[in-house]
Structure 1
Amino acid sequence: MGSKKIYRKYAMLIVLLILLIGLSGIMLSRDREEHSQSKGEEAEATEQTEQWEKGYNLPLDTKKKKDAEEECSAAMERISSQYQNMDKGNTSDGVLSDEEIVALKDVLKEDGLTVTGADAYSTMENYETMEDFLADCQDGKEGTMVLYKVKSSGGLNRTEFEYDGEDLYVVDTISEWSGDGEPVISSTSYTRVKWWNYTEKGWLSYELCAPQPPEVTEVVDASTMIRIRPMEETYRELSRKCVLALGYQGNNLLCSNWNTSDLSRLDYNGVFESFYEMKYGTIIDYDRYADGIKAEEFESLIMEYLPVTKDELRDYAEYDAETGTYLWVRLGTGNYSPTTFGTSIPEVVEAEEKGNGILELTVQAVCMAACNDNAMTHKLTVQFSDDGTFQYLGNEISEEELAKVPEYQYRFGKQWEEADGE
């Protein structure tokens, strides 16, 4: 009997020991799990803190994201009928015309939305709300503002600006049309604005926080310019008619000094395609002119817009007398070094009548790549006829303004070297 009691006693001790070991293991496992969870939470918190400091790919509240996407989809539905009825087959790349973009803007305007477009010199509808918001931000007042943009594809960008009294943030929702003509949200992002400025001319420029080297191999350009205050209608029409197709790259009509007393330094071979677009409303057919442009066609078009003679053209431009053609080649890496100034958009800001149909236009170059609403100012003289046609008579740039302009490259090296050597 004594041995049985001892056996039971040891058996109970062994069971108790096993239980204690098991409980200890459970407690140790739980401690490890809690420690691991705590470390995970700390790591997640650290990661979020670092991301907030970076300012991009910020975590977005689920409800805010849902509301933004639902509102963007609703706006897409509002323009759906108008969009579906547009003849998008007119363009090979599905890009809408300026008139079609304006038509979609008008639909959203009727709903009281603040909306702009991708069309040149776009008017922001209901812009006063945006100006009031920016004025409040400048005064340090918290607030939010939603701006829609009709893209050239017919899709929408919904940009919600959020100011917390210190920093400006952007919730950007992008929507497109599916192949079946249904609205699709492609992305929604939440980003802090690194800096922003509202200019006296009525342009909002800002730069979003974005990845920078060494995190990425190349610098990310996250700057944006948006016209808030609309242009005067007269200046908008003059801009569309006289300077939009010219721009500041591929020809030097707007970025050099010249007048009717000396037409020798204009790049006629380069400006041909700009005049072609102005006259026919479409870009030049590159293949058609790969072997040059017949003299009659070239001279007729150039002389329509400039007071130059055939003999002068054959002297000043690159002309092949044997074939009776003017040389032409499309703008590319071999004859053009890209510059930020070259991407500027010219806009007329003043117009002074000089009599006899002559207007002196004050033109400013808006360089969106540099967030500069006046990269250069110049005076362009044009003369209108009673039938609405016009000719360019000269362009004047002060020495101070000319210093802001990169040296011009002619379309053909020979002409460039001759002009450069004078």
Structure 2
Amino acid sequence: MEGRGVPEIISTAVSDIAEIKLTEKGYFIYAYTVQLYHSSLRQFWRAAPLSDRCRELTEKYLDGLSYVNYNVLVTDWDSSNVEDILMPCMFEDLYRMDTGEILRPENGEIPAEVYERIMTTHFPVTKERIREICGYRADTDSYPYEIIFSSPYPPFGEVVGDKENPDGTLTLFVDEVWPDYNSDCAFTNIITVQPFDDGTFRYLSNSIEKKELEIPGVYDMK
């Protein structure tokens, strides 16, 4: 620590706590008597950490996906009805997960080559169906960029177990943590993915089951 200084406390604050909850999974969830400006409904810490494997699987397959902006994680689907969950607004999150970069569309458009590569890599769907569903523009060979207006207080998922299948696929068992509504298992997902040798992967199916809270509303794309 030589040359790096000594940490000091420069200020403190005291707030009254209205409620405290320590869950069996190890989440410490609490709420202030007076909610702070621009804060969540409740604050939380994970006192008992996930295993290294569960944390790695969560970071690879779940971090960046939303439970409230599109339907990937809040409906039951597989290859027979995957078209029901394909929405243009999900592309921005998939792009960030795939490339590690922020999407920067030009003139509100995304090149078809980029859009179709990412969508067909991560879902069991053809380029032709993507063009029919997601607003392909033949005159510019592109897709429209759809802005996501984030909803407040969304849940997030964490992998709590997994199973390697004989066909090379991986089944993830996921708990949805929703601290703002005082739950560390609001509902659960069973997600099947196909890992590829180049490090990419494809989501093959999702099933969801209500536990402590109602499942977030499904977007109607019609």
Common topology (TM > 0.5): yes
Within the candidate set 154, 173, 195, 1:362 is matched to 173
Q: CA deviation at 1:211?
A: 6.8
Greater relative contact order (Cα 8 A, min sep 6): structure 1 or 2? 2
Q: Deviations over 1:288-336 (max 9, x none)?
A: 244221211110111121121111111222222333221222212xxx6
Count the aligned residue pairs. 222
State which of 63, 81, 104 in structure 2 corresponds to 1:262: 81
Take 1:264 and 1:358, find their aligned partners in 2: how far apart are those partners?
21
| Residues 1:190 and 1:392: Cα distance change in structure 2 (over 3 Å) | same
SS of structure 1 residue aligned to 2:108 = coil
Q: Give how far 1:242 is off.
A: 0.3
Superposition misfits of 4+ residues, deviation over 6 angstroms = none
Bigger radius of gyration: 1
Q: Which runs of 5+ in 1 are unaligned?
A: 1-77, 83-155, 157-182, 213-217, 411-415
Counterpart selection for 1:405 from 194, 199, 215: 215
The structure with the greater share of residues assigned to helix is 1
Task: Give the TM-score normalised by the residue count of structure 1.
Answer: 0.48
Counterparts of 1:303 and 1:220 in 2: how far apart (Å)?
A: 38
Q: Which residue of 2 aligns with 1:93?
A: none
- Contact 2:171/2:190 (<8 A) preserved: yes
**1:331 aligned counterpart, secondary structure:** coil
Report the RMSD for the aligned CA atoms in angstroms: 3.0
Does residue 353 (structure 1) correspond to residue 172 (structure 2)? The answer is no
Give the conservation status (yes or no) of the 8 Å contact 1:203–1:228.
Answer: yes
Q: Structure 1, residues 3-50: CA drift from partner, whole Å, max 9, x if none?
A: xxxxxxxxxxxxxxxxxxxxxxxxxxxxxxxxxxxxxxxxxxxxxxxx
* Residue 283 (structure 1) shift: 2.2
Q: Deviations over 1:208-245 (max 9, x none)?
A: 22279xxxxx9985621100001011110000000111
Q: 1:385 to 1:201 in 2, by over 3 A?
A: same
Separation of aligned partners in 1, 2:35 and 2:63: 34
Structure 1 position 223 matched with structure 2 position 32: no
Unaligned runs of 5+ in 2: none
Which one of the candidate residues 209, 212, 224 is aligned to 2:33?
Answer: 209
Distance in 1, Cα, partners of 2:147 & 2:116? 18
- How many angstroms does 1:389 deviate by? 2.4
3-state SS of paired residue (1:299)? helix
Residue in structure 1 matched with residue 197 of structure 2 by the alignment: 386
Superposed CA deviations along residues 180-225 of structure 1, whole A, max 9, x for unmatched, are xxx772x31223322211101010111222279xxxxx99856211
For residue 270 of structure 1, give the secondary structure of its aligned residue in structure 2.
helix
Percent of pairs with identical residues: 29
Alignment match, 2:4: 81
Give the corresponding residue for 2:114: 297
User: What CA distance in whole angstroms lies between the structure 1 residues aligned with 2:27 and 2:109?
Assistant: 42
Are residues 383 and 211 of structure 1, via their aligned partners in 2, closer, same or farther at CA, if it must alter by over 3 Å?
closer
Distance (Å, rounded) in 2 between the aligned partners of 1:279 and 1:201: 30
Q: What is the 5 A alignment of 1:54-133?
A: 81=4
